[in-house]
Amino acid sequence: MHVSRLSRSWTAYVCFLSLVCLFIAPAVTVKHNDFKTCSQSGFCKRNRAYADHALELSSWEAPYKILPDSTSFKDGQLQAIILKTINEQGDTVRLPVTVSFLQSGVARVTVDEEKRQKGDIELRHNSQVRKERCNEAEKWAIVGGTALDKGAEVAFSDKTQTTVKYGPDAKFEAVVHFAPFSVDFRRDGNSHVKLNDHGLLNMEHWRPKIDKPEPEKKEGEADGGEAEGEKKEEEPKGEDESTWWEEKFGGNTDSKPRGPESIGLDISFVGYDHVFGIPEHTGPLSLKETRGGEGNYEEPYRLYNADVFEYILDSPMTLYGAIPFMQAHKKDSSVGVFWLNGAETWVDITKDKGSKNPLAIGTSSKTTTNTHWISESGLLDVFVFLGPTPQDLTKSYGELTGTTAMPQEFAIGYHQCRWNYVSDDDVKDVDRKMDKFKIPYDVIWLDIEYTDGKKYFTWDGNMFKDPIGMGKQLDASGRKLVTIIDPHIKNENDYSVVSQLKSKDLAVHNKDNDIYEGWCWPGSSHWVDCFNPEAIKWWKSLFQYSAFQGTMENTWVWNDMNEPSVFNGPEVTMPKDNIHHGGWEHRDIHNINGMTFHNATYEALLSRKKGELRRPFVLTRSFFSGSQRIGAMWTGDNQASWDHLGASIPMILAQGISGFPFAGADVGGFFGNPDADLQVRWYQAGAFYPFFRGHAHIDSRRREPYLIGEPYTGMVTSALRLRYSLLPSWYTAFYQAHKEGSPIVRPMFYTNPEDEGGLAVDDQMFVGNTGLLVKPIVEQDKESTDIYIPDSEVYYDYFTYEIISTSKGKKSTVSAPLDKIPLLMQGGHIFPRRDRPRRSTALMKWDDYTLVVTLPKAGGKAEGELYTDDGDSFDFEKGQYIHRKFVLDGNKLSSKDFEARDTKSIKAGEWLKNMKKVTVDKIIVVGAPASWAGKEEVTVTGTGADGKTSWTAQVDYTAAAKGKAAFAVVRRVGAAIGEDWNISFD
Ligand SMILES: *[C@@H]1O[C@H](CO)[C@@H](O)[C@H](O)[C@H]1NC(C)=O
Ligand SMILES: *[C@@H]1O[C@H](CO)[C@@H](O)[C@H](O)[C@H]1NC(C)=O
């Protein structure tokens, strides 16, 4: 939930002071004035001006040159010194550069500043912060994949450049030009990614502040920022000093103890028309240009985690989380960059239509997408991925930053949330009603009002008299409770949590290095500093069952407001000159902050009880690269409107391709009151979000699914049941994400990179590799939709088995009255379901499976998989899981271990033992061949009940009719799910 009435009124007050604001503000939702535009953010403005200057001059020569004699190459690493010329006299500063070639085929370019490495600078205002450029991002984001490629070698070198061959079969090349410094990354002889091709590299080096005499002013008046109207005698090219030393915004002055220190770099994707990624933003999956022009944005995409009240759609404005990973795609080729920086970052995007560069031979597209990356501080640290497939990108990125944690199985069921369930009786009542109406759900959530006066780790004693009784009722049907815990700790006497926080000195400090105090939900608050290992240790102690009384094994946690949201701070967050553990300024690590808090909570849940090792479930609002290792995210405070429903699809797709696929939007919309149609459509869409939660604002009407009324409640229930029956397929997709870094719901370019027409399609998605293709309806009164078909395969309607008659690159109109989700099955797949309707995932644990087989177009094979484990512990890491590969080839359907393990030799723990009784009960073959007509029995060989090894099962064949595919249903198959089996349709 969000900044709210409190900050709204605070903003209103500020607005009131400004008459202009009064006239402008009512037209828009988001309080634009709360957030900076590029021109209000000094370093962004300076770097854009630098770019304008450089791009205007045909004679522009970037002032960065590698000193040829400084280069060395060893063990997959090129090192050199870049000299930056800083004035007309030719003075230079030294910037050490390292180009690392990693075994994964990823290259990494890191540039630092020698003077700051050595601590040879002076800080202003007697500041106690670190002198180095911040290198903390790596510590939090990177978990592997950095082993150097010892096979990388210098293929050519002279006084002007060095070329290194690297990557798989040495197909990649990095051409490092010395003067000016630039790097051209090539694959198979063609340029794909170029760094500093346009000469926008800008590393603002440290310099002392020289106070110039200001004759027009009397002493004292200059205090607090360079006067805007002040004319500088000589302004270095593209440099505007007015924001170097102090900046004011929203009543706050940033003291900038280190002065200007931003980094900027242009990165060109040669021959690519589409770039994707860098969440979190609203707007299309294929990112827009940002330098104006029709249909384009005027502002760069911004990454500065913030609590954006009533965010707007189709905007490059920042939101709650930041993943600075961008991919470029064209037909049959994908490349990417990961800009590892935890500070505020802006990215400009422009596209060069038509080939400006006559030397760009061999590129299929004439468009080049130019990007300009601008961060406020830190190292220049960029990873370059040369693909060539989308899968290569997500896999390599996953190796670096980690992959999705295997979730608790319940976490992919349905979550029922509201700000707020007012009492334990209220929770118990909702729980009973969901059962009464036979609506499945797994988790009920408590927002901030459950606490005693917004003091986390406490309960409102009047309203929640018996939290354990509540927890036990939920547990009776295997359900869970999630309670919110935020990073702001109420500053109040006699609250032991804040006393400990203070006495142990574990809170974030202000610029004077005293404890920082700001406003959030509880009023005056302090913020736990989870960059501090001691703070993590302390945080763990708070979640012990003995400490957080009223919680039990089925209590899990939601971390909100961790951007961090500070109601009275600049841009609703902390001042940038606040100080964190290790002496880093908040400026340096702002975008990582939310992840460190999420991480601390994860670690705390992992250690609630000695000997109890269960996968934590923690939802976060704020995130950074690496947050996927910890839990799920949601897209924050959306609105109950059709356009917000529509916007959720590209947002979730963007999360998926950016390594953090466990994502969802608040179903129904947070603010406002959705009508029945919107609720139905939103549940239908939500059934295809990896994270599926209904949530509502405190001022909205109650809207638990049973309250909508018939026929809508029935429609919502059907959508929920569909989700539950497909849980085995979802869980399998999560496992793939965990293993490979792959998205859980996948856009067309990911599954069909060869299909140019589908590259930018972002309103439909595949579920894992099941071949299930969904296009949720996101418009009112719409009774049909056109689904884009990205290949030449046959597609069947999920519900009717109707054959979709269209061809590759065309759209197929699918009817979709309010009770129907447009859902297709691509031919050539086998996906698992559990069809028995149950109240929760826990109750489905030992249910038998259904396999759905969709025959491909022309006599090919159908293939699929199932992954399952106990859904709770880490035993799967020790082989306690079932992973099957199913293949239908001609008349034979088989199941064998996906990884060709000798499953008989695995010592079965309790879960695996129990699974011996779980079978494949039913098999549905859609598009069954005509030759099966009249067949009554099939032969099964494998392991059945009572140890039999060969038996028959009944099959019913339904012939094709009226555009519908033939299908066969095998019943009572009875083959153990974890064992090998064959079924013969001969
Ligand atoms: C949380 O942070 C600690 C300290 O950096 C780290 O050791 C741990 O691996 C992190 N946990 C996760 C799940 O990333
Ligand atoms: C299934 O068929 C394959 C190949 O025809 C055979 O090798 C395997 O042993 C069979 N498995 C069972 C359980 O019958």
pLDDT digit string, tens, across residues 837-888: 999 999 999 999 999 999 999 878 999 999 999 999 999 999 999 999 999 9
pLDDT of residue 612: 81
Q: Whose CA is nearest to atom 1 of ligand 1?
A: 599
Active site (catalytic) residues: 560, 563, 637
Average pLDDT over residues 520-540: 98
Question: Mean pLDDT lowest for which of 290-304, 353-367, 447-461?
Answer: 353-367
pLDDT of residue 239: 67
Average pLDDT over residues 391-409: 98
Average pLDDT over residues 600-626: 95
Which ligand 1 atom is nearest residue 600's CA?
1
Separation CA 510–CA 525 (nearest Å): 13
Decide if pLDDT at 704 tops 70. yes
Please give the distance, rounded to the nearest whole angstrom, from the Cα atom of residue 629 to the centre of ligand 1.
9
Decide if pLDDT at 569 tops 50. yes
Average pLDDT over residues 295-315: 96
Q: Which of 515, 509, 638, 516 is nearest to 582 (CA)?
A: 509
Counting residues of the chain whose pLDDT is more than 70, the rounded percentage is: 93
Q: Whose CA is nearest to atom 2 of ligand 1?
A: 599
* Centroid of chain to Cα 601: 18
602 lines ligand 1 (CB under 6 A): yes
CATH number of 418-746: 3.20.20.80
630 lines ligand 1 (CB under 6 A): yes
Q: Which of 920, 907, 893 is nearest to 979 (CA)?
A: 920
Which ligand 1 atom is nearest residue 599's CA?
1
| Cα-trace Rg, the chain | 29
Over residues 203-231, the pLDDT tens digits come to: 999 999 987 766 554 444 444 444 444 44
Identify which ligand lies nearest to the alpha carbon of 628: 1
Identify which ligand lies nearest to the alpha carbon of 535: 1
Average pLDDT over residues 638-667: 98
Average pLDDT over residues 83-91: 95
Decide if pLDDT at 820 tops 90. yes
Over residues 179-190, the pLDDT tens digits come to: 999 999 999 999
- For the chain, the average pLDDT equals 93
980 lines ligand 2 (CB under 6 A): yes
Please give the distance, rounded to the nearest whole angstrom, from the Cα atom of residue 617 to the centre of ligand 1.
15
Please give the distance, rounded to the nearest whole angstrom, from the Cα atom of residue 982 to the centre of ligand 2.
6
869 lines ligand 1 (CB under 6 A): no
Residue 198, CA distances (Å) to 52, 110, 372 in order:
11, 19, 10
Residues paired with 781 in a beta bridge = none
pLDDT of residue 25: 36
Identify which ligand lies nearest to the alpha carbon of 986: 2
Decide if pLDDT at 236 tops 90. no
Going by pLDDT thresholds of 50, 70 and 90, the confidence category of residue 943 is confident
Hey, is 107 helix, strand or coil? Answer: strand
Please give the distance, rounded to the nearest whole angstrom, from the Cα atom of residue 979 to the centre of ligand 2.
11
> Considering the domain 766-984, what is its CATH architecture?
Sandwich (2.60)
Residues paired with 157 in a beta bridge = 162
481 with 471: CB under 8 angstroms? Answer: yes
Decide if pLDDT at 801 tops 60. yes
- Domain parsing of the chain, residue ranges: 2-30, 43-207+259-401, 418-746, 766-984
975 with 849: CB under 8 angstroms? Answer: no
Average pLDDT over residues 143-171: 96
Average pLDDT over residues 101-115: 98
CATH class for the region spanning 43-207+259-401: mainly beta
In sequence order, which residues have a C-beta less than 8 Å from that of residue 469 and are 6 or more positions away?
424
Q: Which of 435, 448, 438 is nearest to 474 (CA)?
A: 435
Please give the distance, rounded to the nearest whole angstrom, from the Cα atom of residue 141 to the centre of ligand 1.
10
Over residues 377-394, the pLDDT tens digits come to: 999 999 999 999 999 999
Domains 43-207+259-401 and 766-984 share a fold: yes
- Encoding tokens for residue 778? 């996101």
466 lines ligand 2 (CB under 6 A): no
End-to-end CA distance of the chain: 58
DSSP label at residue 702: P
Separation CA 211–CA 828 (nearest Å): 72
pLDDT of residue 946: 77
